[in-house]
């Protein structure tokens, strides 16, 4: 799994764990479109999340998606739950911080937290997409 796929999963995972209090869809709605995703599953999920938000449903967790789309998403159930739990941005951040703590402590250095935000992931994702497009255009020439 390369970095772009990882970030794709993190973005989708974060969107799947958003609710009325932390509506992460606001952060991506003007910068990401579904055709930017390479993985077909992510693309489908992003379209569903967009549709739900347009209808005013902000709790876009796997349960609500399944209740809304029913059998159409049965094949995505495991993937959705895995993403929402393991690939959520907040979960990744905590995991990363814990790992850093262990390393720092083994060296006897005072541990510190990283302050990576969800926006940083989005920025990175957009840069990767644009770079990729540029490369493809150059190849076409």
Partner 1 sequence: MSSSRDKKRIDTDMQQISPHDVDVEECVLATIMRYNEVYNEYCDLLSPDLFYYEREREMFRVVDGVLKAGKMSDINTLYAYSQSLGIKDEILSRYSFVEIFQKSSRETFYSDVMRLRELYKRRTAWRVLQLAAHKLYDLTEDVDESIEGAVTALGELGTSTSMEGVYSFGDALNELRTIVSDNRAGKLNFLRTGFNLFDRYYLLRPNTMTVIAAFTSVGKSALALNIAINVARAGIPVGYYSLEMGKSELAARGISGTAGLKAGEILNRQLQGTEISMFENAAKQYDSLPIYIDERSTVAFDKTIRSIRTMRKKKGIGLAIIDYLQIYTQVGDSTEASLAYMARASKNIAKELGIPVILLSQLSRGAAHPSIKMLRGSGQIEESADNIVLIDRPEAYPNNEVQKYEGEYANAETHNTALFILAKGRGVGTGTALVGFDGRYTQFFEREDAEYKEQFEQQAPPIEARPMGAEVPF
Q: Which stretch binds partner 1 (CB under 8 A): 8-16, 47-55, 74-82, 95-103?
A: 47-55
Output 56 or 70, the one with its CB closest to partner 1.
56
Question: What gap in Å lies between CA 8 and CA 43, rounded to an integer?
Answer: 10
The yes or no reply on residue 22 touching partner 1 (CB under 8 A) is no
87/125 with CB nearer partner 1: 125
Residue 123, interface with partner 1 (CB under 8 A)? yes
Query: Of the ranges 49-57, 69-77, 88-96, 97-105, which one interacts with partner 1 (CB under 8 A)?
Result: 49-57
| 137 is an interface residue for partner 1 by CB under 8 A | no
3-state secondary structure of 112: coil
Closest CA to 26 of 118, 93, 127, 126: 118
| Residue 126 touching partner 1 (CB under 8 A) | yes
From the CB of 66, what's the least distance to partner 1, in Å? 23
Residue 44 class from Cβ within 10 Å (0-12 exposed, 13-18 middle, 19+ buried)? middle
Cβ neighbours of residue 84 closer than 8 Å, sequence gap 6 or more: 13, 16, 17, 61, 62
Site for partner 1 in 90-109 (CB under 8 A): none
């Amino acid at each position: 799994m390369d970095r772009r796929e990882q970030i794709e999963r993190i973005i989708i995972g974060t969107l799947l764990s958003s609710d009325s209090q932390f509506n992460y869809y606001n952060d991506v709605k003007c910068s990401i479109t579904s055709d930017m995703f390479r993985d077909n599953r992510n693309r489908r999920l992003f379209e569903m999340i967009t549709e739900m938000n347009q209808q005013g449903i902000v709790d876009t967790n796997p349960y609500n998606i399944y209740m809304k789309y029913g059998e159409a998403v049965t094949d995505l159930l495991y993937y959705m739950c895995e993403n929402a739990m393991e690939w959520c941005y907040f979960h990744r951040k905590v995991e990363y911080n814990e790992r850093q703590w262990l390393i720092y402590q083994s060296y006897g250095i005072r541990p510190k937290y990283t302050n990576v935000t969800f926006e940083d992931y989005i920025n990175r994702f957009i840069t990767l997409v644009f770079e990729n497009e540029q490369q493809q255009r150059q190849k076409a020439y």
